[in-house]
């Protein structure tokens, strides 16, 4: 396993997002705001099913990948590249689960690195259809990732990955518990999100990094890195987290 200093873009910043709200307010004013900010924030007041349907319809319309590319979405590439640094050898043997997998952008990049054993979870059937046509996943489970136990065995994977899946109305903070359960001890969790998006919803603002720290305190995982990367989405920074999972269960 590569250590932190072999991942040059990972600079291990550990400041909590909640400390940065004022900074974001200033940034939004200076840069003319983030794209579709109101629409992203309004997802918080809708049900998970309504939000998943929005993605489903976006994918059926056929413009999800182009629209996000137009907004400079590089989250899948950055996240998959990080996984490749975590597992420098025997990539074809590493079992990976992609949470909130969407149309398969993370898996496409993982496959370019030589990973072959990749499964997926996402509640959008249209995303599954598009992703499966690309032949990048083995199993693709259509389901929400939240506080419930997924139809996946404990300790089944070497790595869980996710890009862009946390945010208002998407995966709630408590989904991290399921990230921990499906990864075997000694495996890794590598996930990322747009930095400002995590500060938009009450759940992520109050619980996301608090839960991450709580799991460190419980010895559930140890932090490998927390990196702020430029140009993640909407030409704004993202955060890429890497943890080494030590246990399968978290305390309630």
Ligand X SMILES: C[S@@+](CC[C@H](N)C(=O)[O-])C[C@H]1O[C@@H](n2cnc3c(N)ncnc32)[C@H](O)[C@@H]1O
The CA distances from residue 33 to 27, 29, 39, 47, in Å, are 7, 6, 13, 26
Cβ contact 189:82 at 8 Å? no
* Helices then strands, each counted (H, E), the chain: 11, 7
Angle between helices 175-182 and 209-217 (to 10 degrees): 40
What's the min distance (Å) between Cβ of 83 and ligand X? 13
* Stretch binding ligand X (CB under 6 A), from 13-21, 81-89, 143-151, 202-210: 143-151
Q: 145 to 164, contacts with ligand X by CB under 6 A?
A: 145-146, 163-164
Quick one: tokens of 131? 């992703």
Residue number, 26 or 69, with CB nearest to ligand X:
69
> Could you tell me which residues come within 8 angstroms of residue 228 by beta carbon, excluding any fewer than 6 positions away?
11, 13, 195, 237, 238, 239
Q: Are strands 183-194 and 236-245 parallel, antiparallel or unpaired?
A: antiparallel
Member of 85, 118, 170, 198 binding ligand X (CB under 6 A): 170
Q: How far is CA 163 from CA 30, 45, 57, 132, 205, in A?
A: 27, 22, 20, 18, 18
> How big is the site for ligand X, counted in residues (CB under 6 A)?
23
Compute the least distance from the CB of residue 217 to ligand X, in Å. Answer: 25
Q: Which of 101, 110, 197, 239 binds ligand X (CB under 6 A)?
A: 101
Nearer to ligand X, 2 or 125 (CB): 125
* 75 binding ligand X? (CB under 6 A): yes
100 binds ligand X (CB under 6 A): yes
Phi/psi of residue 191, nearest 5 degrees: -140, 160
Here's the x/- map for ligand X, 176-205, by CB under 6 A: it reads as ------------------------------
Site string for ligand X, 16-55 (x = CB under 6 A): --------------------------------x--xx--x
Answer for the pair 86, 1: CB distance below 8 angstroms, yes or no. yes
DSSP β-bridge partners for residue 229: 238
Does residue 168 touch ligand X according to CB under 6 A?
Answer: no
**Closest residue to ligand X: CB criterion:** 102
Examine residue 76 and tell whether it contacts ligand X (CB under 6 A): yes
Positions in the binding site for ligand X (CB under 6 A): 48, 51-52, 55, 75-76, 100-102, 105-106, 122-124, 127, 144-146, 163-165, 170-171
């Amino acid at each position: 396993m590569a250590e932190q200093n072999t991942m040059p873009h990972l600079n291990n910043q550990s400041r909590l997002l909640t400390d940065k709200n004022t900074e974001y307010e200033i940034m939004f004013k200076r840069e003319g705001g983030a794209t579709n900010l109101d629409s992203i924030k309004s997802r918080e007041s809708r049900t998970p099913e309504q939000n998943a349907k929005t993605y489903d319809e976006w994918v059926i319309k056929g413009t999800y990948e182009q629209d996000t590319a137009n907004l400079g979405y590089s989250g899948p590439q950055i996240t998959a590249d990080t996984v490749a640094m975590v597992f420098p050898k025997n990539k074809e043997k590493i079992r990976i689960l992609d949470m909130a997998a969407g149309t398969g952008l993370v898996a496409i990049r993982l496959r370019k690195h030589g990973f072959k054993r990749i499964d997926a979870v996402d509640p959008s059937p249209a995303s599954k259809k598009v992703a499966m046509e690309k032949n990048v996943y083995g199993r693709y489970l259509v389901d929400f990732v939240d506080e419930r136990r997924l139809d996946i065995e404990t300790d089944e994977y070497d790595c869980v990955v996710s890009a862009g899946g946390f945010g208002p109305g998407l995966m709630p903070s408590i989904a991290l518990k399921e990230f921990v359960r499906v990864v075997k001890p000694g495996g890794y969790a590598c996930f990322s999100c747009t930095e400002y998006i995590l500060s938009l919803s009450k759940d992520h603002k109050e619980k996301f990094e608090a839960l991450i720290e709580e799991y460190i305190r419980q010895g559930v995982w140890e932090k490998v890195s927390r990196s702020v990367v430029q140009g993640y989405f909407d030409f704004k920074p993202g955060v890429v987290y890497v943890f080494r999972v030590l246990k399968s269960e978290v305390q309630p």
